[in-house]
Structure 1
Amino acid sequence: MLVINTADTKAVAEELRVRYQPARAVTLMGREIQKAVFSGRSDDLMFWALVHAHYRGGDLCPTTEEQLNTFRRFFITDPTEIH
């Protein structure tokens, strides 16, 4: 079973923020999401979607958090997150 570490998604988002201009960072994330969609890699898709969400502002809205609850067993939660 593949697991997504939410601390990793935040770290990648921060690294993109540091290394690239916003337009370039969003383009890179979009390419990774597109590759995940067309290769059928749902785990990669979820990872990059979370990276994008953290890049855009950090926390997810309550509706999205609720929808993600279905997949929580596949996440390793960042210890700094309080739900």
Structure 2
Amino acid sequence: MVLAKEGTVRMNSETVGLGDAYDETVHDSIRLTWSGMYAHAAPWNAAFFGTVAPNDGFGDWNVGWDQWRQKSALR
């Protein structure tokens, strides 16, 4: 469920008790929970997109579109 499209948001790890691990302004933010879980753009991490093994939390962001469609009943 999406609670709100919030756009640009400052995320600071100190607000969730993680010390000074990060303090970033992120774009394209979508609030998923009122406690602070978001989906957002992370271009600094692009090299790691799509690298999770399919048996480790398989989801549409883990594989390319062609591979995802091969698993679909609607091929």
| Structure-2-length-normalised TM-score | 0.27
Structure number with higher relative contact order (C-alpha < 8 Å, ≥ 6 residues apart): 1
Higher strand share: 2
Larger radius of gyration: 2
